[in-house]
Amino acid sequence: MINSKELLQYTKELSLLFAEDHTELRVNTTEILKNFFKVVDSAEDGEEALLLYKNAHNQNTPYDLVLTDIQMPKMDGVVLTEKIYEMNPNQTVIVLSAHDESAYLLPLINLGIEQFIKKPIDYQELLKVLLKITKKATINIPVVKDTSKVMLNETYSFNKETKTLLNNGESIYLTKYEIIFLELLTQNTGKIFSNEDIVLYFSNISETVDPQNIRKLVSKLRKKLPDEILESVYGVGYRIISF
């Protein structure tokens, strides 16, 4: 049997989003999870879960964990996971899977999901998985780390909290759209973001960018960045190459 006190020491400051359309299962599981997590929000379908996730993401209070069923009305767990990864490729997602949902597993595995829990839920198994994931995350995260600052090279940096681009400590003026674009690119330096990714990111924060104007935005931002930092990958998209 899982040691509840051991689990609590890793989860007590964390937040979790739980998506499940079965009312009784959702309510009962939520009550159990509230014994361990600081915040537990629940959603009855994928659309509601995505809305909660977007709100938390945009308010810079992201969920530490997402627990989702596969088959749900309005939006299933596969699509929900895809959209979550578009906003945060590093999000930890745990999937609840019934025995007759094997067709969904390969797409989820291809997305990078490693943790599946079979339904009906064995709560001891659920808590065991939660302990494994949160314990690993706690070990791997440095105690002191300024995650708001992204170093682009030896002198250039972008501070995501203050939304400022600095060169040797001196601020470089950025327009509103340049800030938003740089925030996206520095979420995962080295990752290529397509025009569709960029349009979606702007849309998620209630802003609109015309795909035809993205090249112009890139051209203007490139003039404010170190040489060869903002790379165009022909026919694919754009990425930041930090040192």
Domains of the chain: 4-140 (3.40.50.2300), 149-240 (1.10.10.10)
Torsion of CA 115, 24, 38, 70, to 10 degrees: 30
pTM: 0.55
> Per residue in 187-203, is it b (16+ CB within 10 Å) or e — as a string?
bebeeebeeeebbebbe
Report the mean per-residue pLDDT for the chain: 86
The string of pLDDT tens digits covering residues 118-145 is: 888 888 888 988 998 888 765 444 444 4
For residue 102, how many C-alpha atoms fall within 13 Å in the half-sphere facing its CB?
A: 2
The tokens of 104 are what?
Answer: 């969904």
The tokens of 95 are what?
Answer: 């999937």
Cβ atoms of 217 and 208 within 8 Å: the answer is no
pLDDT > 90 in the chain, percent: 47
The string of pLDDT tens digits covering residues 104-119 is: 666 676 666 767 888 8
Whole-number CA gyration radius for the chain: 20
The rounded distance, in Å, linking the Cα atoms of 66 and 85 is 11
**Helix, strand or coil, per DSSP, at residue 182:** helix
Q: How confident is the model at residue 234 (pLDDT cuts 50, 70, 90)?
A: confident
